[in-house]
Structure 1
Amino acid sequence: MCHLFAHQPQRDYESQTRSLRIGGHCTSIRLEMAFWDTLEEIAAKESMSLGKFLTTLYNEVLDHHGEVNNFASLLRCSCLIYRSRSVAPVREFKAVVAPILDAAE
């Protein structure tokens, strides 16, 4: 199973800090490149710049919960939800998991 995860490009898990302005305040967010790529993809699907998308998401969370405790974690979870709903299962993963599940039964 490690081959599936260990062979991913190193760029995907290198982190990058980006500065942005939300609600008139400057802030910075540090995320792994795979998350930045996903956020850029979501923003493009919404016909927004990344900055506009992040500001919109921040404001929606603020309206819904009254505060935003950990925006970076919210962004990571949002990316996971987006990917889980938009990407088909990876065949290699099924091939690796199936024998393990059969052996456990």
Structure 2
Amino acid sequence: MNTEVRKRSITIAGHRTSFSLEDAFWQELQRIAMREGRSIAEMVVLIDEGREGNLSSALRLYVLGDLQQRLNMARPDETPALNPDQGEPE
């Protein structure tokens, strides 16, 4: 897996902003956008509006959350995911 972090730029609310993501996160973000019928810019705006912390971290956490949700839906009888804030099953 390519772990190189690449800087990307996008326009949000009329101003340019940049973020850094590994290719794997970028590709998964593109898949999510396509699945939801959104452009990458729309996805970034959506994630940016609800974020705490920096944009790059928020994008990674969004992708991780989407993957976890889909995994839990695919295997509902398995052990619940850990709550990262409490270290206990949700």
CA RMSD of aligned residues (A): 1.9
Give the count of matched residue pairs. 73
TM-score after normalising by structure 2: 0.69
CA distance in 2, matches of 1:16, 1:49: 19
Partner of 2:56: 72
Alignment of 1:1-105 (within 5 A): 9=1, 11=2, 13-59=3-49, 61=50, 68-87=52-71
Which portions of structure 1, spanning 4 or more consecutive aligned residues, are displaced by more than 3 angstroms? Answer: none
Per-residue deviation, 1:43: 0.5
* Structure showing the higher helix proportion among its residues: 1
Larger radius of gyration: 1
Per-residue deviation, 1:16: 1.2
Structure 1: gaps spanning 5 or more residues: 1-8, 63-67, 90-105
